[in-house]
Structure 1
């Protein structure tokens, strides 16, 4: 049931570069995603500067956390359905321009293209493109571009665009533009694809074009966000350049008409700066003037931004790189994925990581549980300050989560939204959305991890404790002590991670995570009272949490029902899973995956079939609660009924396969995960990258092949093993303030503290004490299948 590759692997992949060396029109939309650039706030798809006829909708520029809001229209509605959707909004594309030769557009679809190459440099974040275009009359132009979305100046994008006449004198017009109206994506029945933003929702506030500067301000009526952009332009080349301007509501452009002699070039350097606010009262023209003033304080040349970008990325790779020896395909895939995570992560506590990052409008730009379970661990162990900001985002939407809980008849605490941007539940299909109540436990799990790894008590006092306690209160309202199960605590009518099994009783993952959540909340109250009694008194008093409620949490946790089949010894995904007819995989055509695009949900729900890891994921997150024999039994059973139609699935199966000694299987899963988007394995990368899968790549190496787990006391444990298809791997991580380097070679592992300090860890069953002076060298652990 592995998805077949949709794109052949490159023959000689570069370890630090992704390249396109031939012009492939059919891959234009896919490559618009792969060559996208972002900085956590601003993201731009990798479309051509001059566009491409027939593919205008593939353009996209996004501001993280800025969205349009619209009513969800149901044919039949009911109380408590999500009422509004939030779609990531479009901003003016900083790289958009038009180029014409003798009045005719220069378009790669209508001319002949040769000497084509495009490269994404993972060390600088720069995309470079060069090609020769030949028109119908034989005239040849060389087009070159270099572009950045700045990680150093996060409100900036910079372009250097050069046109060279190769054979004869030419008359050209270059027209850079700013356009507030969103591109219109094609209609799709694929629920993973995003939908179009209503252009009538965009109100022009200010537009001006003068000298070599363009300015645009617009307002999103539905959400009251205002978007401001200013572009300035430097032209170098011919002495005589005729400039003209055009402006109309929502659109401004600058036209430069010039003549080039054979061999002569014209170069445009363009800087675009952005800002946004919500329900702001300051006049739009004043914000535009502020941006114009800020431009005067920043470098005017492209090279200055490139140098700053390289400095930022050098620091990122020093902390976050994962080196893979002996397999250039996997090395390229690993670094591509980590680079896109770096580009996608919100950094200010008020935005997050969308399922598609900032590379496309897929899933409407929504944030999911993907962040806490699949993405946050990478940042937690490499850049913990960013993990902190991701969790602060959850705190910022806590009031909206409280309101949603009341709407869902939960009298106390909060219910975090399944999919959202601004905090409101946006899932129009509740069986696979709102019913996934485990979102609360996932977020609490991440908060606990963060505190355990960083020891950041201030975060817990200011934010974390309130998140954990408020989200824990939901479980007592949602579940009940069930006499039919000997008085154990049951949670009915929920959906676990597996979206092919919906609205069931006692999903094992949900119940087990709720149990861990409740226990942590009860322990946290004790920790608060001991560590910060005044803070504890204020918080518990404000939330109206008393000792009887805390005792009820503990009682529910102790009596939590965790379904298990006595006859087979299997842990049950839910009460009814084994009672269903098994899906007929042999009779399912290969082109009928993913099932969700070919079968009605009810057809899927009545069968034993999993979209993704569910109980298998529980065995990873709650590893100590299962014996190895239980893990083997459960893994074998559930893997056989899992389609991996979700890109969240293969990484979890890779990790468990590695733990259970299935080396070949683990390696095969890892190949899927590492190159999920580069090889377009699920056939939908054109809508945006898969950030959760990219985080899963890091998890495969660190938790899978290196076997890292964290004990209940917070100690790191490793069981590193060799991996089929590679000669070794190396990574760094931060734990409790210490930097640890782990280098796995053919037959041994080397543990080292590059920055000194002291750390106690386990290698297999042996305790190691590292003091920052002498590396510890140990043999690899061979895990029997």
Structure 2
């Protein structure tokens, strides 16, 4: 066996084969030809000598022909002029002798033929089936003839032989140049390619080139000799390698799909690329026309919201993310036939999203109407290092016959949106049911071209958004690489207008490849003129050209490696399917947040325009915690977006007759865009959610600069809002602070009094605001004085906040033994959740809000969310009782629910249910479980997946400003490992059933890290960087799940039962109680 595990091949993208001795036994033919040649030469000079088998291996094997002649002559102490390749066969020059050898080889080949090694053919088949590209790199100038004789010429898209090497002046083996050239022509880095060789010089070539794998084939050389020469592994025959990847562990580092069909909109989301600023949805090669698939963070249009019956303080202008000019525009014609998905026959199609470098590679083999096969590979990335840049690399190669290729690539102006009716159209009787999860449509001419500019090899377009006034610059450039000798056959033309296009025409021979690399850059602004955006786009596309494709890809690989070092959550190697899904979710967080750079992180990131591209509370609750503990700078950038919105939040509070600031429920530019205030503006808890994120960021980083330049301002102004909104009331139970007329996270209940989540969160907001001021007054009095002056903080104001926090009303029903979600919730009729058919989910699309508001039914976790985020405020018994009451009433119609339910289920002991909820959340988009993956990735749900792993199974709680662990590892999981960063020190935690291990993975500036495990405090320092805590089990274990019957059999204080005497007619035909709905 090779010593190379089958899954190792999944790390590669191409296999570069030597020919002689690897694929075909032509080494024997070559050896015979060399022997015959030197018999003639030595006879001609009158010397009694011969070329032995050992001489062949030592002096000739694997080398270019003329180099082999020179080696033999030098070994014999002889010298001759080099001559030229055109020399006639003879004995007077090195080239003449080499040509004698070539004539002898051709004669033997034509006379005896050659059959490939059966094991090599089987291995080649397995490599191709695994989706890897293949090429031949041979020193022989007869490689094409040998491949034809062996019946293999059609199997390889690239053959780089001795003739091609000579034309390019590439030194032969053992120099790595020929292999490096082949890898570059295929478009892969050496580290992504394997070299397969039988000669010592060839093995040395692969080792010197830094290839990802060098496999030696021990035909004439011992295995050890090949290994000593630099082979990664060696085999006697390629048939010895088990490359049946169907039986190997699944690849946990990439997501793949195959098939002839055009990508669905769900596929376009799942395989989308982004960096937080620019996003590209997947569009397969051969898509008929570009669509709305390129998005820029914050690029939006505004439009007036029309109310049939308006009232004071309503949101006035809608905001909708609009598509940018599409970087994916690409059409291909072969002999005047357009290659189109769904129309042209496809022999092979394979697409791979690689989490290790953020590239998306589509490989398609088309069969034209004339029966010719054409290979197309498209590799694209959105750069993390170059924030404004997307790169799309196209390679086209005819496989069977000469073909005329016409390729058109560019940037297409968008055609506008028509996915849902405009607000005016919604009034029409024929309008479809409105789905608030989708994007509002805007005018088709929202993005208006202003001017364009042609540079040296670049084109730049400038746009203005019609009503919002935003400006956009788009730069593009193409680098066209014709195959050697084909440039005189090729033609490149450019055109631009609303879009910018490059057209390439060339005649290609079989095996020749046309490669076109497209660089596209985007710059947008809410303030700067179009001309400035054009200048920026032109500069950044020039930077991309100077870097070049290979350097951009290499930089991307390095970036991804550093990301995974900080952010990966590692399961057992026995769980590759789960591991891949976990990494896909974590990668979406990078694609949504990494280069947002202060613009905010919307509900769909830059993967689509669902929810109109709006930012909500879920960024701070579900995404920022991941950022805090993996890449704190990204968290700071996300919170800076809220700092920039603070002036508009103050304005919104004034409109609602309140003090302080009220952040918009849904927004892009800071203005409120929610037209339905009961489930929008009334969700005042967004203030506390943002303040909580600020607090946790400050605790994790000790970033005093952010505290004094925005963080404290948010804490103070949100605290003031609660004091203005709330009021004190005394009754027989005492005096308490109340918050009325609010809506909690559960949007199936609105405009209530004393929502538990809102009250607990507001109390936390008030506390941390007062404590932040006290800290500044104590440690930075000058900064404190400046803040007091800036915000006009009155004496006694922080103390009033603390008083309100301590006196906050927390509703608890003694008869039911649970916290009340709000003042009236427990008095409502219970909705028959298990009796509601699946097709009626989500309820919001099938029942009027007034119907839902009358019942005890939850769209998503509400009180249960408070149990997690404010864990220390509840006892273990209260958590269990609350969870057992509210979980059966929760429909899970929101993708934000499953992870919260998983976390609390794990804590209270419902281990199997916790795992069920986790796996649901894990596959929300991968399996389109809520029916709207087409609108974009549910970014907050991906953050929730991280939380379910770290807070749920890892048992982390941090609501008191420090780390506390009480692990809950699933019984079926051997281990769980993750990293968390605290004030610059990165700690790796590894959890097993028996222990929790902690070690410093990166000391940073050397700050110690302290934390609790089940009540005992531990510390990691530079002197003691590792520790192990033995665990006595994984917490309580409860069977099954909380039942709906448990809720309906409880009695209120007045003796009435909670359960309905008979189910509503509209809920007939129910699934099993508590089942998760398949659709959203």
Q: Same fold (TM over 0.5)?
A: yes
Aligned to 1:16: 253
Instruction: State the Cα deviation string for residues 44-85 of structure 1 (Å, max 9, x = none).
Output: 1111254246xx54x311111222111112222211111111
Checking the alignment, whether the CA contact within 8 Å between 1:371 and 1:692 is kept in structure 2 is: yes
- d(CA) in 2 for partners of 1:43 and 1:354? 12
The alignment status of 1:32 with 2:282, answered yes or no, reads: no
**Number of the residue aligned with 2:662:** 415
Distance (Å, rounded) in 2 between the aligned partners of 1:497 and 1:586: 22
Task: Please give the residue correspondences for 1:649-660 in structure 2 after superposition, counting only pairs within 5 Å.
Answer: 649-660=897-908
- Determine if the alignment matches structure 1 residue 471 to structure 2 residue 718: yes
Which residue is equivalent to 2:1029?
A: 778
Q: Which residue of 2 aligns with 1:717?
A: 964
User: Are 1:61 and 2:294 counterparts?
Assistant: yes
- Among 659, 672, 685, which residue is 1:438 paired with? 685
Could you tell me how far apart the structure 2 residues matched to 1:184 and 1:168 are?
A: 42
Kept in 1: contact 2:967–2:1035 (CA 8 A): no
C-alpha distance in structure 2 between counterparts of 1:405 and 1:393, whole Å: 18
Give the strand-richer structure, 1 or 2: 1
1:616 aligns with 2:864: yes
SS at match of 2:740: coil
Q: Is the 8 A contact 1:201 1:220 kept in 2?
A: yes
In structure 2, the residue corresponding to 1:547 is in which secondary structure?
Answer: coil
CA contact (8 A) 1:667 1:724 kept: no
Deviations 1:284-342 (A, max 9, x none): 2x653554344344445322111000111111111111101132222111111111101
Q: Give, in whole Å, the separation in 1 of the partners of 2:688 and 2:934.
A: 32
Structure 1 counterpart SS, 2:311: coil
TM-aligned CA distance change 1:186 to 1:113, over 3 Å: farther
Go from structure 1 to structure 2 and tell me whether the alpha carbon gap of 1:184 and 1:261 turns closer, same or farther (over 3 Å shift): farther
- Equivalent residues in 2 for 1:88-167, closer than 5 Å: 88-167=321-400
> Does the CA contact (< 8 Å) of 2:660 and 2:717 recur in 1?
yes
Question: How far apart, in 1, do the equivalents of 2:596 and 2:282 lie?
Answer: 25
Contact 1:349–1:391 under 8 Å retained in 2: no
Equivalent residue for 1:339, pick from 584, 587, 590: 587
SS of the equivalent of 1:632 reads: helix
- Tell me the equivalent position of 2:953: 705
SS across alignment from 1:453? helix
| Partner Cα separation in structure 1 for residue 729 and residue 367 of structure 2 | 75
In structure 2, which of residues 275, 282, 292 is the aligned counterpart of residue 46 of structure 1?
282
| 2:976 is the alignment partner of 1:740 | no
Matching of residues 166-205 of structure 1 within 5 Å: 166-187=399-420, 189-205=434-450
| Root-mean-square deviation (Å) | 2.1
Deviating more after overlay: 117-126 vs 290-299: 290-299
Match of 2:493 in 1: 244
Distance 1:141 1:744, change over 3 A: same
Deviates more, 1:486-495 or 1:114-123: 486-495
Q: Secondary structure at the match of 2:297?
A: strand
Match of 2:649 among 391, 401, 415: 401
Shift of 1:742: 0.5
Question: Could you give the per-residue CA deviations for residues 536-591 of structure 1, whole angstroms, max 9, x where no partner exists?
Answer: 22222222220243333233222211111121121000011111111112331112
Kept after mapping to 1: 8 A contact 2:899/2:948: yes
Q: In structure 2, what is the Cα distance between the partners aligned to 1:439 and 1:339?
A: 26
Deviation at 1:679, TM superposition (A): 1.7
Q: Which has the larger radius of gyration?
A: 2
Mapping of residues 611-760 of structure 1, within 5 Å: 611-710=859-958, 712=960, 714-756=961-1003, 757=1006, 758-760=1008-1010
| TM superposition shift of 1:505 | 1.0
- Give the CA deviation at 1:528: 2.2
**1:763-774 alignment runs, 5 A limit:** 763-772=1013-1022, 773=1024
Deviation at 1:668, TM superposition (A): 1.0
Q: Give 3-state SS (helix, strand or coil) of 1:640's partner.
A: helix
1:178 and 1:216 in contact (8 A); partners too: no
2:737 paired residue among 479, 489, 495: 489
Q: What is residue 207 of structure 2 aligned with on the other side? A: none
User: Paired residue for 2:804, among 556, 579, 584?
Assistant: 556
Q: Tell me what 1:292 maps to.
A: 538
Question: 2: CA distance between counterparts of 1:287 and 1:430?
Answer: 36
Distance 1:365 1:297 in 2: 29
Q: Which moved more, 1:223-232 or 1:485-494?
A: 485-494
Per the alignment, do residues 117 and 478 of structure 1 end up closer, same or farther by CA in structure 2, a change over 3 Å counting?
Answer: same
Partners of 2:737 and 2:504 in 1: how far apart?
Answer: 72
In structure 1, distance between residues paired with 2:435 and 2:926:
21
Q: Which residue of 2 aligns with 1:233?
A: 478
Task: Provide the rounded CA distance (Å) in 1 between the counterparts of 2:833 and 2:945.
Answer: 27
Give the whole-Å Cα distance in 2 for the aligned partners of 1:161 and 1:300.
18
Aligned-partner Cα distance in 2 for 1:678–1:219: 36
For structure 1, the residue ranges without an aligned partner over 5 or more in a row are 1-9
How far is 1:700 from its partner?
Answer: 0.9
Give, in angstroms, the shift of residue 104 of structure 1. Answer: 4.2
Determine the C-alpha separation between the residues in 2 that align with 1:721 and 1:515.
29
**C-alpha separation between the residues in 2 aligned to 1:571 and 1:227?**
51
Number of corresponding residues: 767
Q: Which has the higher contact order (CA 8 A, sep 6+)?
A: 1
Conserved 8 A contact 2:416-2:445: no
Query: How far apart, in 1, do the equivalents of 2:1034 and 2:673 lie?
Result: 46
Q: Secondary structure at the match of 1:120?
A: strand
Q: What CA distance in whole angstroms lies between the structure 1 residues aligned with 2:375 and 2:480?
A: 17
Tell me, in whole angstroms, the C-alpha distance in 2 between the residues paired with 1:468 and 1:300. 44
Matched, 1:222 2:467: yes
Residue 33 of structure 1: CA displacement? 0.7
> Hey, what's the Cα distance between the residues in 2 that align with 1:169 and 1:195?
49
Structure 2 counterpart of 1:600: 848
Report the Cα distance in structure 2 between the residues aligned to 1:695 and 1:290, rounded to whole angstroms: 33
Decide which moves more: 359-368 or 293-302: 293-302
For structure 2, the 5+ residue unaligned runs are 1-245, 421-431, 1038-1080
Shift of 1:134: 2.4
1:385 aligns with 2:633: yes
Q: Name the structure 2 match of 1:461.
A: 708
Q: Is the 8 A contact 2:305 2:675 kept in 1?
A: yes
Structure 2 Cα separation of the partners of residues 259 and 183 of structure 1: 37
**Cα 1:620–1:550, aligned 2, differ >3 Å: closer, same or farther?**
same
* Structure 2 residue aligned with 1:81: 314
C-alpha separation between the residues in 2 aligned to 1:490 and 1:360?
40
The farther-off stretch of 754-763 and 72-81 is 754-763
Q: Is the 8 A contact 2:348 2:364 kept in 1?
A: yes
Please give the alpha-carbon distance, in whole angstroms, between the structure 2 residues aligned to 1:183 and 1:566.
Answer: 57
1:64/1:346 contact within 8 Å kept: no
Alpha-carbon deviation of 1:711?
A: 6.2
Q: Describe how 1:280-359 pairs up with structure 2 within 5 A.
A: 280-281=528-529, 284=531, 287-289=533-535, 291-298=537-544, 299=546, 301-325=548-572, 326-345=574-593, 347=595, 349-359=597-607
Contact 1:93 1:179 in 2 (8 A): yes
Shift in alpha-carbon separation, 1:202–1:722, aligned structure 2, 3 A: closer
Distance 1:527 1:179, change over 3 A: same
**Which is further off, 505-514 or 160-169?**
160-169
Tell me the secondary structure at the aligned position of residue 133 of structure 1: strand
- The aligned residue for residue 206 of structure 1 is 451
Distance 1:415 1:718, change over 3 A: same
Cα distance in 2 for residues equivalent to 1:129 and 1:63: 23
- In structure 2, relative to structure 1, the CA distance for the partners of 1:173 and 1:185 (3 Å cut) is farther
> 1:172: Cα distance to partner?
3.0
